[in-house]
């Protein structure tokens, strides 16, 4: 098997279904050995060998690829550490980490329970931080031992993290936090040979099918723009050595469209050179807003 990831080892979290499954299969198709992480169980309630992680492993192996399952909880320190250990034990190295695991607990802000806030933060934000931390510790050790890696991290944000989404305060905040984590990790880990980027995908998954059912439905005979497999080629490239020099960036991917997001950048500015009075500050702010590009509305705003 030859491809842009030949000889590389990638770990993908939340890879039993949806986007994660598509990423794992695409990485394997390009030559990577893949650690398929998923905490879930099969549709019949069974776990173990019948679970979704092992099912994806079997799909990859059936096409001549190499893969192992990891069913640990990556929102715990032990589970995240074992993800990295699984890659090292099975394949002797780790070259790429794709943080993808997530789920939803949607509520309007005034009805959002603290437990639902904490659960989404745990799975999305903590579930990115801990695998990244343990992978980074391994790569730092490799670098200090004189074996500087050519490592990659792909984090999964969302349009909700970029713009906000009505009814998804917890999810939007977690996904925005992932963007901040990406920027810091890219800056801190560059010295160890690690590149860190983020992706805001739009695709049909178990999460989006419920929330945006009409928009996500395929149209018979037309290009299925919402198929999760459309997002995976960019993930594969970012995980490969071919993406050398690309770090600290955020991409949107939907259907056949790829966009580099430019994020928060200074716009119109006023400097009095002294302290503003409140009324003066307000007048200046009005003038600056009139000269600035208009903001984009959050998802779900009519």
Which one of 82, 126, 157, 158 is the catalytic residue? 158
Residue 165 among the catalytic residues: no
Does residue 100 register a pLDDT over 50? Answer: yes
Do residues 142 and 149 touch, judged by C-beta distance below 8 A?
A: yes
pLDDT tens digits, residue range 262-288? 988 999 999 999 999 999 999 999 999
Residue 158 among the catalytic residues: yes
pLDDT score of 260: 96
pLDDT tens digits, residue range 43-75? 444 444 459 999 999 999 999 999 999 999 999
Does residue 214 register a pLDDT over 90? Answer: no
Global confidence as pTM:
0.91
Residue 171 among the catalytic residues: yes
Do residues 10 and 98 touch, judged by C-beta distance below 8 A?
A: yes
What does the mean pLDDT of the chain come to? 92
Does residue 119 register a pLDDT over 70? Answer: yes
Please provide the CATH number assigned to the domain covering 9-261.
3.40.50.720
Residue ranges of domains in the chain? 9-261
Do residues 31 and 9 touch, judged by C-beta distance below 8 A?
A: no
Which one of 82, 157, 171, 192 is the catalytic residue? 171
Which one of 165, 175, 192, 299 is the catalytic residue? 175
């Amino acid at each position: 098997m030859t491809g842009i990831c030949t000889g590389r080892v990638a770990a993908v979290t939340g890879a039993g279904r949806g986007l994660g499954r598509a990423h794992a299969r695409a990485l394997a198709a390009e030559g990577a050995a893949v650690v398929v992480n998923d905490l879930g169980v099969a549709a019949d309630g069974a776990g173990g060998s019948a679970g979704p992680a092992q099912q994806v492993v079997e799909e990859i192996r059936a096409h001549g690829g190499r893969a192992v399952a990891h069913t640990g909880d990556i929102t715990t320190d032990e589970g995240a550490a074992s993800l990295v250990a699984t890659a090292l034990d099975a394949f002797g190295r780790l070259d790429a980490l794709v943080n993808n695991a997530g789920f939803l607990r949607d509520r309007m802000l005034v009805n959002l329970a603290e437990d639902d806030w904490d659960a989404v933060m745990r799975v999305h934000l903590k579930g990115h931080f801990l695998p990244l931390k343990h992978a980074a510790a391994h790569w730092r050790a490799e670098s200090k031992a004189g074996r500087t890696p050519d490592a990659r991290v792909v984090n999964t944000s969302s349009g909700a993290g970029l713009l906000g989404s009505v009814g998804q305060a917890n999810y939007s905040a977690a996904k925005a936090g992932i963007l901040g984590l990406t920027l810091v990790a890219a800056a801190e880990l560059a010295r160890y040979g690690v590149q860190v980027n983020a992706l805001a995908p739009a695709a049909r998954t178990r999460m989006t099918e419920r929330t945006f059912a009409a928009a996500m439905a395929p149209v018979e005979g037309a290009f299925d723009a919402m198929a999760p497999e459309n997002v995976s080629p960019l993930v594969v490239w970012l995980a490969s050595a071919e993406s050398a020099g690309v770090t600290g960036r955020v991409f949107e991917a939907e259907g056949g469209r790829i966009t580099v997001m430019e994020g928060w950048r200074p716009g119109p500015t006023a400097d009095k050179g002294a302290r503003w009075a409140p009324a003066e500050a307000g007048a200046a702010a009005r003038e600056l807003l009139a000269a600035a590009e208009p903001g984009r509305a959050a998802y779900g705003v009519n």
